[in-house]
Structure 1
């Protein structure tokens, strides 16, 4: 093994870990809300993740500034956390983990549409427009047989709101452009998210958990608190500094497929043959959308 292969193996391992965490997160959410009120799960997740993040930040000796610009950036980042995740946890009561991952996999397409139509930050080419149309058509095909596919319209609406919150957070953080280290940004956003989640307590106090959840639910708690909120975040920021955006975007194709497999094998989630065809069409649309970027990155040389 030569010296050049070692960094490549490390990068590939971190990339694989990130994809697996993202793919398993919807299932972990479904498991964690099966026995405990979804909003209590959210509160516990962010309080625990905030404590862990503060400890990691101290070990890394990174600053956590509280100037006006930094605070604005933390609030913007929290829109991705407490904003997007709030609706994902609510959607978990209506959708399977695989379908949640599939819908959220369309977020880069929605971000591209917002960037083109509203923010005018970049221009979409005809293949990307076609890819969007194909992906939406495939999603419609999945939902057409909702009784067999366990697709609840309320869950779809909640996931769309979640995607809008997630995308808005990305654009807002970039617009603020605070000079923060990734871990500082993440920790500040987690703190704001945990404080924001406490505002829900008066409305859900009557649903306070009174007994110990099952091991499966506890595993879901721990997974989302440690791996989804901390480890995945560190992997993501590590990768975007070292890989092209087109390479990172490949995860949007892999994650929903792995999530569907995990949901079917570990949670006995049924996906009809009708839905499988629709899922394949969605994946093909996503590939079409990213094809120009991938071709320029890998085949233009």
Structure 2
């Protein structure tokens, strides 16, 4: 398959691009739904993304398999989009962008626990369990420091559901292992997500946006369509053929730092000193948990 011909430098480039895009996505989501119902932000994202991807498939002459295995893979991929993103958009009404990114930092932990306890595909070492405990303690500190600034228990619950959907999608697509090009996989998953998002329309029709959105909202929508849904999904599904699920989820280790800076600089989000200490603790826990994989990810391209 084409994925097997991908060079180590291309893998690293896709990985870095995915980290940067996903770091900025929570802020883009918060901006895109400013003044409108969150679900219309999600529906608009998948509508415009699909309108962009379909012509790209034609222009680049990419194949689009529609056999049963490929269709199953598209459905599996949509669990990250319509499943995970559905609840993230709802959570964006309750949480700041930096807290959303921080919660996604727990995706690698969840992926590791699933692989260890349920799928039996990996065995966690003592320092990984220690890293998990440290990260969880750090998250508690963040919540204590942000109780009056961008924190809401409902939003946290929605983000937990989003995380489960995201991790489930990774393992499902990986287990299907369909011989589908990354662009076809991204397009198919977005198409399924678009169709499922249409089921939401009757419930939010009364909230249909009637006014022209602000420049900030439009820029947020443009970013989620072009970068988050198209470019990031191409990188994401390409990497799924190259790396382990837990390594894919590892992209979320660095995103909280970048997202926190973006939220403070561009969205004037207040982050207390206690919350900063908690975020540092979380990231240290994640680094301890995935220290070996980080080192392997850095060294592998150099030794390939």
TM-score, length of structure 2 as denominator length: 0.89
Deviation at 1:234, TM superposition (A): 2.5
Alignment of 1:40-55 (within 5 A): 40-55=40-55
- The superposition leaves residues 246-274 of structure 1 with CA deviations (integer Å, 9 ceiling, x where unpaired) of 98666433211010000001000000011
Deviation at 1:154, TM superposition (A): 0.6
Pair 249,93 (structure 1): closer, same or farther in 2 beyond 3 Å: closer
For 2:193, the equivalent position in structure 1 comes to 193
- The superposition leaves residues 57-111 of structure 1 with CA deviations (integer Å, 9 ceiling, x where unpaired) of 2222222222222211111111111000000000000000001001001101101
For 2:178, the equivalent position in structure 1 comes to 178
- Check whether the contact 2:174–2:240 (CA below 8 A) recurs between aligned residues: no
Paired residue secondary structure (1:50):
helix
Q: In structure 1, how many angstroms separate the alpha carbons of the residues matched to 2:263 and 2:218?
A: 17
Alignment of 1:152-301 (within 5 A): 152-237=152-237, 251-295=251-295
CA-based RMSD of the aligned residues comes to 2.5
Moved more, 195-204 or 56-65: 56-65
- Check whether the contact 2:19–2:251 (CA below 8 A) recurs between aligned residues: yes
Q: In structure 2, how many angstroms separate the alpha carbons of the residues matched to 1:238 and 1:282?
A: 28
Deviation at 1:215, TM superposition (A): 0.4
For 1:71, the equivalent position in structure 2 comes to 71
Pair 213,297 (structure 1): closer, same or farther in 2 beyond 3 Å: closer
Deviation at 1:206, TM superposition (A): 0.3
Q: In structure 2, how many angstroms separate the alpha carbons of the residues matched to 1:291 and 1:222?
A: 35
Pair 165,245 (structure 1): closer, same or farther in 2 beyond 3 Å: closer
Q: In structure 2, how many angstroms separate the alpha carbons of the residues matched to 1:66 and 1:10?
A: 27
Alignment of 1:8-87 (within 5 A): 15-87=15-87
Deviation at 1:16, TM superposition (A): 4.3
- Check whether the contact 1:33–1:41 (CA below 8 A) recurs between aligned residues: yes
Moved more, 178-187 or 156-165: 178-187
TM-score, length of structure 1 as denominator length: 0.90
Q: In structure 2, how many angstroms separate the alpha carbons of the residues matched to 1:176 and 1:248?
A: 16
For 1:118, the equivalent position in structure 2 comes to 118
Deviation at 1:162, TM superposition (A): 0.2
What stretches of structure 1 of length at least 5 have no aligned partner? 1-6
For 1:101, the equivalent position in structure 2 comes to 101
Q: In structure 2, how many angstroms separate the alpha carbons of the residues matched to 1:137 and 1:248?
A: 24
Moved more, 110-119 or 140-149: 140-149
Pair 246,210 (structure 1): closer, same or farther in 2 beyond 3 Å: closer
Q: In structure 2, how many angstroms separate the alpha carbons of the residues matched to 1:51 and 1:168?
A: 27
For 2:128, the equivalent position in structure 1 comes to 128
- Check whether the contact 1:79–1:165 (CA below 8 A) recurs between aligned residues: yes
Deviation at 1:240, TM superposition (A): 6.4
Q: In structure 2, how many angstroms separate the alpha carbons of the residues matched to 1:243 and 1:79?
A: 19
Runs of 4+ off more than 4 Å: 7-16, 237-250, 295-301
Q: In structure 2, how many angstroms separate the alpha carbons of the residues matched to 1:147 and 1:245?
A: 33
- Check whether the contact 1:95–1:150 (CA below 8 A) recurs between aligned residues: yes
